């Protein structure tokens, strides 16, 4: 019983810090990405890509998306053109096409005409943004291969309202000179808030160039577990990384992460056109969690009372085991109880 009491008290007070009042973290996050890369293709020619091109949208809450691959459909305008060929859009004669028909995968509304898609295939004509996007072939390797060298600055402010304790991940020991030159490394620079994208993916056990082709979702986790009975300088962030979307050979349908958006233009005669962008990339979710504890009389007294109550329960349980379950229960019972005769009888 005494051993049980000592073990339970050690667990509650030393390991679980049962003498402390606790609070959960309240957090805010802002990010800033930096990096420039050059591409040279037959469609676009030589082109520089900077933050305004590949971070979409410029600001999100606790998240930043970096485009790593792209399918561009240039100079689209509204009109009539052949639909992409598949088992529902290919046709031989006009009667194969239904005017006004729209399927879930249509790029536009069928006009009822059957027109040549190329020299060997005919498809149903549609009224749509023409020419339609052809996304059957994803660029390999990724269009922005150099994105692994881009960096992201994560600024995180935390607050424990119960203790009115505030701090941020740019620690007081970090100066502007260090901040301009450091890159996070778990061994040499564990408190640098600037992360190289390739290193984040690598730390999660993934290959950046493979992930960049079809995109994905990464978690940058910041853990603030603080013992506020110690000096505030001991309350520091701990960073970890993991991939959140499913990368499994058994789940190959609709992999990665992508979305579409368009940039619209009007020429001098008022004709509207657009560039359609299908962007593949990596979304970095910054997840902040943590718990702070500080000494308080009330939880201390509650846990002491619980320990004493457990001590009483332990005594009862030990008696039950010894007196009713063990082979020598009769021997123990004789030693525990002493039977005396009633004097008056």
Say if residue 109 carries a ligand binding annotation.
no
Q: Binding residue per annotation — 260?
A: yes
* Dmax (CA) of the chain: 125
Task: Compute the CA torsion angle 110, 112, 115, 121 (nearest 10 deg).
Answer: 70
Q: Which of 184, 173, 157, 188 is nearest to 290 (CA)?
A: 157
Tell me: is residue 13 an annotated ligand-binding position: no
How many other C-beta atoms are found inside a 10 Å radius of the C-beta of residue 190?
Answer: 12
32 labeled binding residue: yes
In degrees to the nearest 10, what's the CA dihedral of 160, 166, 170, 175? -160
In DSSP terms, which residues pair with 259 in a beta bridge?
279
Alpha-carbon distances of 188 from 182, 225, 320, rounded to whole Å: 10, 21, 58
Give the angle subtended at the CA of 63 by the CAs of 57 and 68, to the nearest 5°.
Answer: 60
168 is in an annotated binding site: no
* 259, two tokens: 């979305």
Rounded Cα distance between 345 and 343, Å, is: 5
Phi, psi of 332 (to 5 degrees): -65, -35
Q: 196 labelled as ligand-binding?
A: no
Question: 69 with 148: CB under 8 angstroms?
Answer: no
Contacts of 313 (CB under 8 A, 6+ apart): none
Burial 139-150 (b: 16+ CB within 10 A, else e): eeebbbbbbbeb
Is 278 annotated to bind a ligand? Reply is: yes
Q: Answer yes or no: is 199 a known binding residue.
A: no
- Rounded Cα distance between 154 and 182, Å, is 13
CA distances in angstroms from 302 to 19, 164, 292, 315, listed in the order given: 9, 24, 19, 20
Annotated binding site for ATP: 32-34, 151, 258-260, 278
Annotated binding site: 32-34, 151, 258-260, 278
């Amino acid at each position: 019983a005494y051993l049980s009491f000592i073990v339970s008290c050690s667990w509650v007070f030393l390991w679980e810090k049962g003498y402390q009042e606790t609070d959960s973290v309240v957090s805010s996050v802002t990010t800033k990405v930096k990096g420039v890369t050059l591409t040279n293709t037959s469609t676009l020619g030589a082109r520089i890509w900077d933050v305004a091109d590949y971070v979409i949208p410029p600001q999100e809450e606790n998240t930043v998306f970096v485009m790593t691959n792209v399918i561009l459909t240039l100079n689209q305008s509204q009109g009539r053109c052949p639909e992409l060929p598949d088992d529902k859009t290919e046709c031989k004669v006009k009667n194969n096409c239904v005017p006004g028909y729209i399927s879930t995968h249509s790029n536009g509304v069928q006009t009822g005409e059957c027109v040549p898609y190329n020299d060997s295939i005919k498809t149903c004509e549609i009224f749509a943004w023409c020419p339609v996007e052809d996304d059957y072939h994803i660029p390999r390797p990724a269009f922005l291969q150099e994105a692994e060298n881009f960096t992201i600055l994560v600024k995180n402010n935390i607050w424990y309202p119960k203790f009115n304790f505030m701090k941020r991940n740019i620690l007081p020991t970090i100066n502007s000179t260090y901040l301009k030159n450091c890159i996070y490394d778990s061994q040499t620079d564990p408190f640098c808030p600037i992360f190289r994208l390739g290193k984040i993916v690598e730390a999660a056990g993934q290959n950046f160039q493979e992930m960049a082709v079809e995109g994905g979702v990464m978690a940058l986790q910041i853990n603030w577990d603080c013992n506020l009975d110690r000096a505030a300088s001991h309350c520091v962030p701990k960073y970890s990384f993991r991939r959140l979307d499913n990368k499994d050979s058994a789940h190959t349908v609709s992999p990665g992460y992508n979305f579409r958006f368009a940039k619209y233009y009007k020429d001098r005669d008022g004709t509207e056109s657009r560039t359609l962008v299908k962007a593949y990339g990596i979304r970095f979710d910054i997840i902040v969690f943590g718990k702070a504890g500080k000494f308080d009389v009330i939880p201390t007294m509650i846990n002491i009372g619980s320990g004493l109550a457990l001590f009483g329960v332990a005594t009862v349980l030990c008696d039950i085991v010894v007196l009713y379950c063990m082979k020598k229960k009769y021997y123990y019972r004789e030693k525990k109880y002493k039977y005396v005769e009633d004097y008056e009888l």
